[in-house]
Amino acid sequence: MPPFKTMIPTNSRPNEWKIEQGLAGAELPVIDMTEPENKSLIFQVFPEKLTKDEEAIKAVGDPEKLFVRERDGWIGFVEWENHPDKKAAAHKILTSQTFPPNPEFQLGPIPPTNPVLPGTRWKLWHHAVGGELTRVPDDSWNCVLKEKHKDMLHLLQFPYNGEPPKRLVTDKEITPNNLHFVRNHGGIPIIDKDKFSFMMDGLVARPREYTLDDLMDESRFPRMKKTITIQCSGTRRIEQILKYPGQGDEIPQAPWAEGAIGTAEYTGISLKKVIKECGGLIEGAKHLEFYGCETYFKDDKCMNYLVSVPWSKVKANEVMLAWEMNGEPLPRIHGYPLRIVVFGYIGARSVKWLYRVKAIKLPSRAPVQSAEYLYFPQQVGKHNLKMTDGIQIQEMPVSSGIMFPWTKQVIIHNGKIRCKGWAYSGGGRWPERVELSADGGFNWYTIPLENLSKKRRWTWRTWSYDLPCDVEGWVEIVVRCWDNAMNTQPPEIRTAWNWGLHVTHSCHRISVYSVNRSRPKTDTRLKEFEDAGIPFAPITVPLTFPSQTWDDYEKFWRENDPRDAEDD
């Protein structure tokens, strides 16, 4: 047989059909309709060749001296916030060369790999600045390999962002440490516990330094053990991306699914007690700024990871200095030796690798606090946004997720579909009722209380339920949670969408194909498959035996009216 002629002359691109159908959005030009004639705008082009001004970089100085390890026993730690000169030097290096662009994964296809995204730019930035940062990407990945479960889904290799696969997210009510999601904005510092201390300063009466032994001294600070759910505000972002992309202000952005949430028992002390020991706040201090010791890159600048929470939160004993997670020393990847845990706030405030707490008057002006983690109104985006348009996200709203089954799955059942998932509400509210619908959210079944895990003030509740489903064909299963303040979730992803792709709290929806074996006809057909030894899956493969005998077919038409009606 002659081969098909593939090179037929055409003015269309090879993937024109996909582009027309919105399946290759990254290649669609922006249309300018402000003039009588439509105009396609050109794309931002990245130079094919990267540039590097060696002279300028050399003039900055020796990175081994400029960016040295800040403290003995703190591998990977460079302090930036007290050193404007260092910041300027790093900025000069970063602006004296170009780096490859970020891969497009929102409007284009998401890579089918694990890690999904490599984080090439962040690796190159660390190498470009050099000094103590050179080793950080490798140290971090080695830490992932050592501390995390082999089945983790690595969304971003560096900075490391990973979540457990759906089947393991709610496998246990308390998340095992090696399966807890990880969200990093930079590398993982390797800190020697015996060389560790952190500084409590800023607007407190008596600033002072604390070692871990000081904090563990129960004669000074009462011990605290709390089971806490940490949820990233990016949880379930993928639903927004797949329907309506945006641009996460949270950089680098991970295409999180439902696994960026985890629950653990943390041991430590209340930050309030430390502030009290420092003589309390002075001069109208109202916020506490937390310093994480890894290097964060933003706009060609180097900085440490900084955020803040209001004093009112600390005063309520809802901010903890934690050194244990589920009865073990904090894993390095989760902040060893000391992290902040802020109950009921987005994960971003629970700073890992803490080296300083500073009492300040206004919320932190650091970018993670002021320019990122903002919840914008829907009409705000690249073309018009200002930071002040966004609400700084602190408490998470009520939310939930279906961990099983999965979208596009075919389910053979006896009238009930086994479902599993989680429900959570931020700010100290808790799931009071969880409901499932098998008809897209028209009718709801309440999950019996005995099918929900324990009720606690600061944690999720995992659940399982055999959801009644009589109908066959594609059905949409929806989950919704009511918290104790009677808040519930908006029905559609559209109502949750925002430019920063945060807080995906709309009802989680999955589409499954229902095959109800309690119906005799379905049971008979499935037996035919079994008898013939033909697998039923996938459903899109045509039936390989007759759906009906011709005798049976003729009998039908003898007993019923013909296909077409006749005039009387």
Interface residue list for Mo ion (CB under 5 A): 183, 232, 347-348
How many CB atoms are closer than 10 A to CB 554? 10
Nearest-angstrom CA–CA distance, 128 and 122: 10
Q: Which of 470, 466, 489 is nearest to 479 (CA)?
A: 489
Return the residue of 351, 366, 398, 478 that touches ligand MTE, per CB under 6 A.
Answer: 351
Return the residue of 126, 154, 185, 356 that touches ligand MTE, per CB under 6 A.
Answer: 185
**Is residue 375 a contact residue for ligand MTE (CB under 6 A)?**
no
CB 153 within 8 A of CB 259: yes
CB of 135 to ligand MTE, least distance (A): 18
How many CB atoms are closer than 10 A to CB 85? 8
**Is residue 321 a contact residue for ligand MTE (CB under 6 A)?**
no
Please choose, out of 17-25, 349-357, 455-463, 551-559, the segment that lies near ligand MTE by the rule CB under 6 A.
349-357
Chain-centroid distance of CA 156 in Å reads 11
Nearest-angstrom CA–CA distance, 2 and 332: 61
User: Out of Mo ion, ligand MTE, none, which partner does residue 181 contact, by CB within 5 to 8 A per kind?
Assistant: ligand MTE
Phi, psi of 123 (to 5 degrees): -65, -45
Closest CB to ligand MTE among residues 116, 341: 341
Nearest-angstrom CA–CA distance, 476 and 3: 44
**Is residue 253 a contact residue for ligand MTE (CB under 6 A)?**
no
User: Out of ligand MTE, Mo ion, none, which partner does residue 499 contact, by CB within 5 to 8 A per kind?
Assistant: none
CB 77 within 8 A of CB 293: yes
Closest CB to ligand MTE among residues 458, 482: 458
Return the residue of 143, 302, 348, 493 that touches ligand MTE, per CB under 6 A.
Answer: 348
Q: What is the dihedral of CA 376, 377, 379, 382, to 10 degrees?
A: 0
Pairing, β 197-202 against β 354-360: parallel
Q: Which of 323, 313, 290 is nearest to 224 (CA)?
A: 323
CB of 136 to ligand MTE, least distance (A): 13
Token duo for residue 534: 């033909």
Q: Name residues contacting ligand MTE, limited to 83-122 (CB under 6 A).
A: none
From residue 268 to residue 297, the character string flagging contacts with ligand MTE as x (rule: CB under 6 A) and all else as - is: ------------------------x-x---
CB of 482 to Mo ion, least distance (A): 25
Nearest-angstrom CA–CA distance, 498 and 504: 9
Please choose, out of 10-18, 81-89, 350-358, 387-395, the segment that lies near ligand MTE by the rule CB under 6 A.
350-358
Return the residue of 226, 272, 334, 505 that touches ligand MTE, per CB under 6 A.
Answer: 334
Binding site for ligand MTE (CB under 6 A): 180-185, 230, 232, 292, 294, 305, 334, 347-348, 350-353
